[in-house]
Structure 1
Amino acid sequence: MKINCIAVDDEPLALEMISKFIGQTSFLNLMGKFENAIDALAFIHKEPVDLVFLDIQMPDLSGMELARIMGANKKDSPCRIIFTTAYNQFAIEGYKVDALDYLLKPYNYEEFLKASTKALQFFENQKKSIKKVDEVPEYIFLKVEYQLVKVLLKDILYVEAYKDYVKVHLVDKPHPLLSLTSLKNMEELLPSNKFMRVHRSFIVALDHIHSITKNSIQIGKSTITVSENYKENFLKFLNRWMG
């Protein structure tokens, strides 16, 4: 992956050196270099910057002050910081503002690459975490009689509790699948962004809802009552659904 970054330092020689180091590093993409934090902040608000190589001791707005502003507006500017400074007394403050690393001047390319690689690992782990959250399975396996049956999630209309079993009602199937499991297990198995429990005996597929009232759901030819215990979550969904 490529990390979009900028360099901020009020010393021209230091700024040129870090820009050169960024250019030597294949996974870094230099989007801009700035001699003051105010211009850098304006750029961060406009462009998709992932990482800032940031000097601390600067006039007008210090690097630490910029870091605090970025931390207060993390939703708008979710980029991270590697501090570059000649003063080691700022190290503790750097970690307080959640800096990824701290380069003490004068530093060489090996030290720069080590800090940059740490940033790369951070962003790769972050990307994996996001992907994992966003991943939705396409199917599940259910025990039906003496075999495991593959069931596509998009084909499930609703799931109904039936004694020690559940009935899984499917699109274009006249008879439901009967599986030896509990509704609680099904609730844990089915992705919550696609399915909702609305009754002690029913889980419904949100994509297959045809119509809604405050107390019931129409799916195909079936009308399913929303019980009091599940009404709060259902009403939140209803408000989103009705826009």
Structure 2
Amino acid sequence: MLNLIAIDDNASALSTIEKYAAKVAWVNLIATFTSPLAALDFLGENTIDVVLVDVQMQDISGLDFIHIVKQKQGTTIPAFIIISAFNQYAIQGFDLNISDYLLKPFGFDRFLTALEKVRVNGHAGITPVSSPSNIGLFVRQNSKHLQINPTTILWVASNGHTVQIHTRLDTPLLVTETMTHMESVLQPYGFHRVHKRYLVNRSHIKEINSSSIMMEYRPEPIPIGKTYRSVIRQMSSNSI
């Protein structure tokens, strides 16, 4: 059983989390908070497995909240899942070793995937369930689902009504998923959206320029979209 709390100053977002949590037999939503300060007091007196926390809140941000808890909790630190309508905090979040990053509005399947990751991999005092060390992601290809190891993906490109998944193989894998879905499931593995048509694996970036990115195993540069330049600046300010 995973015991969790959720923190968001948006009551509607908390209502959605309550609805989703009620569907999962091994999830126990202990409490919800609209105030991160109230949640800090609660964590000081209770042991929780998972904390879902928004980023933009009054009093303190979700990122500051995570930092404070990590300093105060000692060895018993819960897993953190950020829930946000904005993707620009993803790099900072994963630098804080969060377990997942959910982009609002997220569906039940994405919510379940995030919690299943914590349950399987374990975190802090959580004992992981038996599972293969490398769990693949399932992607749709017409009427079937294919399993792929996310660590083998170099970049993902939108191609009209399909998405191309590029690995070291010469021929990319064509799947019938959306870029929004691919972004949400690959973010925990170090992927970043750099353009409306491109999602890149941070581990395979060779060089970041002012308007493009050079990737391993790709001779042509990948363009950086204007709306993603703030994310790129944050990425390049950290070691890659």
Taking structure 2 as the reference length, the TM-score comes to: 0.50
**Corresponding residue for residue 95 of structure 2:** 96
Q: Distance in 2 between matches of 1:21 and 1:116?
A: 11
**Corresponding residue for residue 13 of structure 1:** 12
Does residue 70 (structure 1) correspond to residue 69 (structure 2)? The answer is yes
Query: C-alpha offsets along residues 165-223 of structure 1, whole Å, 9 cap, x if unaligned?
Result: xxxxxxxxxxxxxxxxxxxxxxxxxxxxxxxxxxxxxxxxxxxxxxxxxxxxxxxxxxx
- State the number of aligned residues: 128
Structure 2 stretches lacking a partner, 5+ long: 130-240
Q: Which amino acid aligns with 1:99?
A: I
**Corresponding residue for residue 121 of structure 2:** 122
Aligned-pair Cα RMSD in Å: 1.9
Higher helix fraction (1 or 2): 1
SS in 2 for 1:24: coil
Runs (4 or more) in structure 1 with deviation over 4 Å come to: none
Q: Given that residues 119 and 128 in structure 2 are in contact (C-alpha distance below 8 angstroms), is that contact kept between their aligned partners in structure 1?
A: no
Structure 1 stretches lacking a partner, 5+ long: 130-243
Q: Which amino acid aligns with 2:91?
A: I
Q: Given that residues 67 and 81 in structure 1 are in contact (C-alpha distance below 8 angstroms), is that contact kept between their aligned partners in structure 2?
A: yes
Q: Which amino acid aligns with 1:72?
A: Q
**Corresponding residue for residue 56 of structure 1:** 55
Q: Given that residues 56 and 64 in structure 1 are in contact (C-alpha distance below 8 angstroms), is that contact kept between their aligned partners in structure 2?
A: yes
Query: C-alpha offsets along residues 46-79 of structure 1, whole Å, 9 cap, x if unaligned?
Result: 1111100111110111111100111223416511
Q: Distance in 1 between matches of 2:80 and 2:109?
A: 18
Query: C-alpha offsets along residues 94-123 of structure 1, whole Å, 9 cap, x if unaligned?
Result: 101110000000110011111110011122
Q: Distance in 1 between matches of 2:20 and 2:72?
A: 28
Q: For residues 193-204 of structure 1, what are the structure 2 equivalents within 5 Å?
A: none
Deviation of 1:126 (Å): 5.1
Q: Distance in 2 between matches of 1:84 and 1:34?
A: 14
Q: Distance in 2 between matches of 1:15 and 1:116?
A: 16
Percent of aligned positions with the same letter in both sequences? Answer: 32
**Corresponding residue for residue 40 of structure 2:** 41
SS in 2 for 1:7: strand
Q: Given that residues 120 and 128 in structure 2 are in contact (C-alpha distance below 8 angstroms), is that contact kept between their aligned partners in structure 1?
A: no
Q: For residues 1-243 of structure 1, what are the structure 2 equivalents within 5 Å?
A: 2-75=1-74, 77-123=76-122, 127=127
Query: C-alpha offsets along residues 118-164 of structure 1, whole Å, 9 cap, x if unaligned?
Result: 011122895269xxxxxxxxxxxxxxxxxxxxxxxxxxxxxxxxxxx
Q: Which structure's CA Rg is the greater one?
A: 1
Deviation of 1:45 (Å): 0.9
Taking structure 1 as the reference length, the TM-score comes to: 0.50
